[in-house]
Amino acid sequence: MSILVYAESWEGRFRKSTYEAASYANQLANDLDTDLIAVSFGNIDESELSKLGEYGVSKIFSYSNVTKSDNNNASILLAKHAEDSKAIIFANTFSAKMIAPRLSSKLKAGLLSNVISTILNTENFTFQRQSFSSKAIEKVSVSTEKVIITISPNAFEIKNSTTNCVITKNDANFENQFTVIGSETNTGKISLSEAEIVISAGRGLKGPENWGMIEELAELLNAATACSKPVSDIGWRPHSEHVGQTGKAVAPNLYIAVGISGAIQHLAGVNSSKVMVAINTDPEAAFFKAADYGVIGDAFDVVPKLIEEIKKIKN
């Protein structure tokens, strides 16, 4: 028996969400008194692979010539290594959302996404997950022999647990169901789903030309930038920045909302944030009911002051 973690990589590197998934899987392996193994795709060198040993992974199977986009082959390989696994753990990334459902079908294993608890009942695999766009916490159980879990980002700590880790490199020669012909990424930016701090702005900023101060604040705090739905709908900011019920759900340690009124759909996507700050000219803005800290004031007055004060503590 074992627990299997999918160790996702980006350009040859593991990221925070990979270590969160490994730490979570290691905890589950301890709870079920079994070993933790990992599968990774893409070209990753040995020193990077061996880092997984610091989080309890005892065996890694690395397939350098399989891409994570190729969800069919990824799920075939994961299914092969999960033959003896009770649970398969993913961080809830874009690729995981393609691979995990296919794996669920292949292994006939119940899939629980957006999980936010450790195992509550080992007999019938009971966990808590986010549901109704974070408006509810749902307790769910799985009736199958194996369970597949995708964990919410930033919901679990990264915990060191150094183990002797054996690396096995393999090649797989499968036909792809599709061809990746290119990608466009803004590499300098911090990923919104993994960011520990998010600076988000809404219509209160009056126009796209005023986002400079939001970006400056984000850079100072090593934060990602986000926006409200109306702002992405009118094209002031890209869709990928839209957080809320029909955009992305985020759960950073700190969410600063500038000039966002706090519609129920927006709050649904952000209320898992640990601490929220609202800055708004309208004292009646709904965001003040949800936030931990509030400032009634104009963004053009408050944000530059905030930048100055943060510069002071950063020096």
CB 169 within 8 A of CB 62: yes
Query: Rounded to an integer, what is the distance from CA 9 to the centroid of its chain?
Result: 13
User: Quick one: which of 82, 160, 144, 147 has its CA closest to 117?
Assistant: 147
Residue 75: CB minimum distance to another protein, A: 7
Q: Which helix (H) or strand (E) holds 4?
A: strand 2-6
Dig out the tokens for 52 from the structure.
Answer: 């997984």
DSSP class of residue 248? B
Q: Which residue has the tokens 């944000």?
A: 303
Separation of first and last alpha carbons in the chain: 52
Amino acid identity of residue 233, one-letter, is D
What CA–CA distance (Å, rounded) separates 146 from 212?
49
Dig out the tokens for 146 from the structure.
Answer: 């194996």
Instruction: Give φ, ψ of 174 to 5 degrees.
Output: -120, 160
User: Quick one: which of 99, 184, 187 has its CA closest to 150?
Assistant: 99
The neighbouring-strand residues paired with 90 are 150
Q: Which residue has the tokens 């700050």?
A: 277
